[in-house]
Amino acid sequence: MVFGITLLQFILSHSYLSRIAPMGNQLKVFFVVFALLQACPVVAQTRTVMEINRDWKFKKENLDDAQKTSFDDSGWGTISLPHTWNHSDGQDGGNNYYRGVGWYRKSVDLPPAYTGKSVYLKFNSANCKTDLYVNGAFIGTHIGGFAAFVFDITKQVSFGKRNTIVAKVDNSNSILVPPLSADFTFFGGITRSVELLILDPIHISPNRSGSCGVFVTQNKVTGAGADITVSTLVDNTGPTTSSIGVATKILTGEGRVLHSKNSSVRIAGNSSQNVDQLFSIKNPHLWNGKKDPYLYKVLVEVIRHRTKTDSITQPLGLRFYSVDKDSGFYLNGTRYPLHGVAFHEDRRDKGRAISMEDRKQDLDLLNELGCTYLRLAHYQHDQFVYDYCDEKGIIVWTEIPVINNIDTSTPLYADNARQQLTELIRQNYNHPSVCFWGLFNEIDYKPGPDPTPLVRELNSLAHALDSTRLTTAAAMFDERPEHWIPDLISWNKYFGWYVGNVKDFGRWLDSIRARHPDLKIGVSEYGVGANTQDHSQNPRQPNPGGPFHPEEYQNLYHETYWKEIEARPFLYATSMWVGFDFSSDGRNEGKNPGVNDKGLITQDRTVKKDAYFFYKANWNDEPMVYITSRRFLERQDPHVEVKIYSNCDSVQIQVNDKKYAAIVSSDHIYKWNDVTLTSGTNKIQALGYTNGRIIVDTCSWRLVEHR
Strands 395-399 and 373-376: parallel
- For the residues 227-251, what does the mean pLDDT come to? 97
Enumerate long-range contacts of 261-269, CB under 8 Å, 24 or more apart. 265/234, 266/241, 266/242, 267/202, 267/234, 267/236, 267/241, 267/242, 268/236, 268/241, 269/236, 269/238, 269/239, 269/240, 269/241, 269/242
- For the residues 388-410, what does the mean pLDDT come to? 97
pLDDT score, position 42: 41
**Residue 119: pLDDT over 80:** yes
**Burial profile 261-286: b = 16 or more Cβ within 10 angstroms, e = fewer:** eeeeeebeeeeebebebebebeebbb
What is the CB-side half-sphere exposure of residue 689 using CA atoms within 13 A? Answer: 10
**Residue 90: pLDDT over 50:** yes
**Residue 31: pLDDT over 80:** no
Over the stretch 601-612, which tens digit does the pLDDT of each residue have? 999 999 999 999
- For the residues 319-347, what does the mean pLDDT come to? 98
Query: Structure pTM?
Result: 0.92
In the chain, the domains with their CATH numbers are 3-40 (no CATH), 48-195 (2.60.120.260), 214-316 (2.60.40.10), 326-619 (3.20.20.80), 634-703 (2.60.40.10)
574 membership: H or E segment, kind and range: strand 574-577
Q: Is 468 exposed, middle or buried (0-12, 13-18, 19+ CB in 10 A)?
A: middle
Confidence of residue 45 (pLDDT cuts 50, 70, 90): low
11 membership: H or E segment, kind and range: helix 3-12
CB 512 within 8 A of CB 477: no
CB count in 10 Å sphere of residue 206: 24
Gap between the terminal Cα atoms of the chain: 84
- How many percent of the chain have pLDDT more than 90? 92
Enzyme catalytic residues: 442
Strands 582-583 and 595-596: antiparallel
What is the CB-side half-sphere exposure of residue 252 using CA atoms within 13 A? Answer: 9
Over the stretch 635-683, which tens digit does the pLDDT of each residue have? 999 999 999 999 999 999 999 999 999 999 999 999 999 899 999 999 9
- For the residues 540-546, what does the mean pLDDT come to? 96
CB 651 within 8 A of CB 662: yes
Q: What is the CA radius of gyration of the chain?
A: 29
pLDDT score, position 399: 98
**Residue 29: pLDDT over 70:** no
User: What mean pLDDT value characterizes the chain?
Assistant: 93
Over the stretch 340-398, which tens digit does the pLDDT of each residue have? 999 999 999 999 999 999 999 999 999 999 999 999 999 999 999 999 999 999 999 99
**Residue 147: pLDDT over 50:** yes
- How many percent of the chain have pLDDT more than 70? 93
- For the residues 284-300, what does the mean pLDDT come to? 98
Cis? peptide before 257, omega within 30° of 0: no
**Residue 572: pLDDT over 90:** yes
Over the stretch 173-220, which tens digit does the pLDDT of each residue have? 999 999 999 999 999 999 999 999 999 999 999 999 999 999 999 999
**Residue 247: pLDDT over 60:** yes
